[in-house]
Structure 1
């Protein structure tokens, strides 16, 4: 079954207590109830995947200014039928930022978020059940913009709240301390 690998990842993931734990449970229920959960044609909502990309020194994160939503977010997007959410997250990072050399910082899921996407033209409001992974970019890569973003920048982790202070983003900022370089 296409959903088994995602359900296994979700089962091995321990979310933060409170809101993230609720969203994690909602995501598990959603995936179990909808065999077509990876398809954007499921108008109620669908699984998306994104990447929290840290700089080589792990002191900055890659954020894009989303053209349609006019806000700063981590790169990510629709699975479009692909159940390999980690690969989708990596593909979306590469397509949206030009950063192609990525190293996974964690074996499993980094964060889970459920958020409402507002109605847009012919697309009704719907939920994104976002599965997030943490990566580190290799040195010396050039950022390349695509049509989905107004801008892409490395933002110091300590300054992310000035770009987007939503709980969703700030939760990932808090979790970034898991990957801090050891102090000698």
Structure 2
């Protein structure tokens, strides 16, 4: 189940006023990421065990130059991390169902200071299962009931969308 690590969106608002490049992962005051909330036919949500953070999270990650938008980035990350092809995944909407601001700890190996991720999360549906984990970043995957999501605002949005 995804851990709750939310903070306020105030840093995102402040960065928007400074005209920061929020698509650049080198913007260490904070940058945008894209997340996938993948629901199976039973309404369970796919969680991945993130190697670097050693936590259960939703699939997602940084934007790439070839991404045509946040939805495309979320779907690409989902496929990369789980091996589930985009052909068997359907977006529930073209709009995010949740936006989360959370701190990311410093990573000296990548020369990255502590910073914020502003994660735009999109709901997808599938009848497929995980094919092949991206072992450089993911150590495990598991389906959990949507009502076990710890982050209350996210859980409420997901449960509402699944009705």
Counterpart CA distance in 2 for 1:154 and 1:143 is 13
Matches within 5 A, 1:102-113: 102-113=89-100
1:75 aligns with one of 59, 70, 74: 59
In structure 2, stretches of 5+ residues that fail to align are: 1-5
Partner residue of 1:126? 115
Counterpart CA distance in 1 for 2:30 and 2:11 is 12
Alignment pair present for 1:175 and 2:160: no
Higher relative contact order (CA 8 A, sep 6+): 2
> Structure 1 residue 154: deviation in Å?
1.4
- With over 3 angstroms needed to count, the CA separation of the structure-2 counterparts of 1:29 and 1:80, relative to structure 1, is farther
> Structure 1 residue 144: deviation in Å?
1.4
Judge conservation of contact 1:143–1:152 (CA < 8 Å) in 2: no
- 3-state SS of paired residue (1:174): helix
Partner residue of 1:46? 31
Q: Which has the higher helix share?
A: 1
> Structure 1 residue 29: deviation in Å?
4.2
Partner residue of 1:117? 104
What is the TM-score normalised by the length of structure 2? 0.82
> Structure 1 residue 26: deviation in Å?
4.4
Matched residues, number = 152
- With over 3 angstroms needed to count, the CA separation of the structure-2 counterparts of 1:74 and 1:29, relative to structure 1, is same
2:42 aligns with one of 49, 57, 60: 57
- 3-state SS of paired residue (2:28): coil
- With over 3 angstroms needed to count, the CA separation of the structure-2 counterparts of 1:32 and 1:91, relative to structure 1, is farther
| 1:35-82 deviations in Å (ceiling 9; x for gaps) | 421011112111101011101232x00100000101100000011344
Counterpart CA distance in 2 for 1:85 and 1:119 is 24
Which of the two has higher C-alpha Rg?
1
User: What's the C-alpha RMSD, in Å, of the aligned pairs?
Assistant: 2.2
| 1:98-150 deviations in Å (ceiling 9; x for gaps) | 1222111123111011111001112110110111111111x244431112011
Alignment pair present for 1:66 and 2:55: no
Judge conservation of contact 2:35–2:61 (CA < 8 Å) in 1: yes
